[in-house]
């Protein structure tokens, strides 16, 4: 493994080379005393790692690092210095340095470990980049395949619908007598033909719907509604069909259902499918449709329960798979694509809910689905830097969080006690009181002691202190300058989402 050592002090350069030789890890060390010489070697030679003194006669480690990034040279870079300046360390890490080492009594023992850590991190990063690239390429191929399939499905559906419309209209004209009189036998056959044309249209619609749902191309018209209204409409529509079979169809709806956001047409489609299946597979008794609000999980639950023949245990896992029809061909009660429940599953899941079935063979079945009651989490940001407040507020609001903000610790404590946010993002170094005092006062008050806190700091010593010396508080901590994705993922984790 080739290492470039950039060091203007000959004694320290020799010392470092001896340390690396004693490490006995096969390091091949090349050296440069000035930035100009180092830049030329980096451009012309292949190195696995760079160790660079921060201060050089004609430049600095920071300048070399910036030049490398501009020229697309991505190598593990370790900066060494005689002084342990936190400001310098932060600048170097921001620019992409892998580590920072002080020339003190621990330098000799620490250097081989720091090198190995930098190489391990570099290799993990490169492997991650490779896997992400492969994944991206695979996803692009899948998207292309889905696009071709969706386009084909749409085209075939359109081509089938056009002649079907002409056939249906022709049959309707003959049945109406507009084309002349027909006898009873002719009418009977034409009615059969009309029903099968309608059935074929439904099958085509199912295939097209599922294709759009699967490729996420079906747009949902989300608006606030009461689920009980949709259930009543769906039950009323199917009631005549149930009564023709001698079945009851009733509703048991919770009177205090919240207004939630969903696509009325698509949820009506799910209900129609579940109720239709229940009627189809029930010979005695009837169907009950119920709704209930689950406060603990912040969802509503709808259930379509029947007194039919039930479902065998081995068939339950197949229910929501596409093109699945239960039982052997002699047991099936009617034809179809086997897409009804698969479509229902896609619709419910794209609403953020779940759908499942419970059954005891010979005693009936219950098909249940949930829809989320949308909750907006409240986050308090306490930071004396308006830029940080503005940036955090912007990207957190994009995720539909409610944002409260404060520039001082005292005001932040007051807001926390009054508003009781779901999460507090706190800068440790504030102008009026320290972040530690804010944490102590919040944790000592009963109403705020359980609010999770995400600490932030631009000082390395503070981050070390929070992570290693304040363990009893179990505070997660993010260093400044922060990464937006890291803040969002940590926020999501702390809120239990």
Tell me what pLDDT residue 226 has.
92
Using CB atoms within 10 Å of the CB of residue 23, give its burial: 0 to 12 exposed, 13 to 18 middle, 19+ buried. Answer: middle
Write down the pTM of the prediction: 0.48
Q: Specify whether domain 377-495 bears CATH 1.10.1740.10.
A: no
Angle at 395 between CA 394 and CA 398, to 5 degrees: 90
Tell me what pLDDT residue 471 has.
46
Closest by Cα among 411, 218, 394 to 403: 394
Tell me what pLDDT residue 324 has.
62
Tell me what pLDDT residue 332 has.
45
Q: Which residue has the tokens 């002719």?
A: 186
Residues of the chain with pLDDT under 70: 84, 150, 153-154, 157-158, 206, 208-218, 322-338, 459-474, 497
Token reading at 400 = 């539909």
Rg from Cα positions in the chain: 34
Q: Which residue has the tokens 């504030």?
A: 430
CA distance 115 to 4: 12
CATH architecture of 223-372: 2-Layer Sandwich (3.30)
pLDDT digits 0-9 by tens, 97-120: 888 888 888 888 899 999 998 899
Concatenating the DSSP letter of every residue in 243-266 gives HHTT-EEEEEE-S-PPPEEEEHHH
Tell me what pLDDT residue 2 has.
92
Domain 2-104 carries which CATH code?
Answer: 3.40.50.2300
Evaluate whether 370 touches 354 at the Cβ level (below 8 Å): yes
Token reading at 235 = 């039950």
């Amino acid at each position: 493994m080739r290492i470039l050592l950039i060091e203007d002090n000959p004694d320290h350069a020799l010392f470092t080379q001896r340390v690396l030789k004693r490490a006995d890890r096969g390091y091949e060390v090349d050296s440069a005393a000035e930035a100009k010489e180092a830049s030329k070697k980096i451009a012309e030679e292949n190195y696995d790692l760079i160790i660079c003194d921060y201060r050089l006669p004609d430049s600095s480690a920071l300048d070399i690092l910036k030049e490398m990034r501009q020229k697309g040279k991505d190598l593990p870079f370790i900066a060494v210095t005689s002084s342990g300046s936190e400001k310098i360390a932060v600048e170097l890490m921001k620019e992409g340095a892998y580590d920072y080492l002080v020339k003190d009594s621990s330098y000799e023992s620490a250097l081989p470990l720091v090198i190995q850590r930098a190489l391990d991190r570099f290799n993990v990063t490169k492997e991650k980049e490779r896997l992400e690239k492969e994944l991206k390429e695979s996803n692009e191929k899948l998207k292309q395949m889905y696009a071709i399939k969706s386009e084909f499905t749409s085209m075939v559906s359109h081509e089938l619908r056009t002649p079907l419309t002409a056939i249906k209209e022709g049959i309707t004209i003959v049945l109406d007598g507009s084309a002349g009189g027909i006898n009873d036998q002719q009418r009977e056959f034409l009615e059969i033909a009309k029903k099968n044309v309608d059935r074929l249209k439904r099958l085509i619609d199912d295939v097209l719907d599922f294709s759009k749902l699967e490729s996420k191309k079906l747009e949902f018209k989300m608006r606030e509604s009461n689920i009980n209204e949709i259930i009543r409409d769906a039950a009323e529509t199917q009631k005549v069909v149930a009564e023709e079979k001698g079945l009851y169809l009733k509703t048991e709806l919770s009177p205090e259902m919240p207004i939630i956001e969903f696509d009325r047409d698509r949820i009506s489609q799910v209900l129609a499918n579940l109720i239709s299946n229940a009627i189809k597979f029930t010979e005695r008794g009837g169907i009950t449709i119920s709704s209930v609000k689950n406060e603990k999980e912040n969802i509503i639950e709808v259930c379509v329960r029947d007194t039919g023949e039930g479902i065998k245990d081995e068939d339950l896992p197949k229910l929501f798979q596409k093109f699945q029809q239960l039982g052997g061909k002699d047991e099936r009660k009617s034809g179809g694509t086997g897409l009804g429940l698969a479509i229902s599953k896609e619709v419910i899941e794209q609403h953020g809910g779940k759908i499942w079935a419970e059954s005891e063979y010979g005693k009936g079945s219950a098909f249940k689905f949930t829809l989320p009651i949308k909750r907006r989490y409240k986050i308090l940001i306490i930071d004396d830097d308006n830029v940080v407040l503005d940036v955090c507020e912007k990207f957190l609001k994009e995720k539909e969080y409610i944002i409260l903000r404060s520039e001082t610790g005292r005001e932040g404590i007051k807001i926390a006690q009054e508003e009781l946010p779901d999460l507090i993002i706190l800068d440790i170094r504030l102008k009026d009181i320290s972040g530690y005092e804010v944490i102590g006062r919040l944790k000592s008050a009963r109403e705020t002691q359980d609010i999770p806190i995400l600490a932030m700091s631009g000082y390395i010593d503070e981050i070390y202190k929070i992570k290693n010396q304040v363990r009893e508080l179990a505070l997660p901590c993010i260093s400044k300058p922060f990464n937006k994705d890291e803040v969002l993922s940590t926020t999501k984790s702390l809120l239990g989402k």
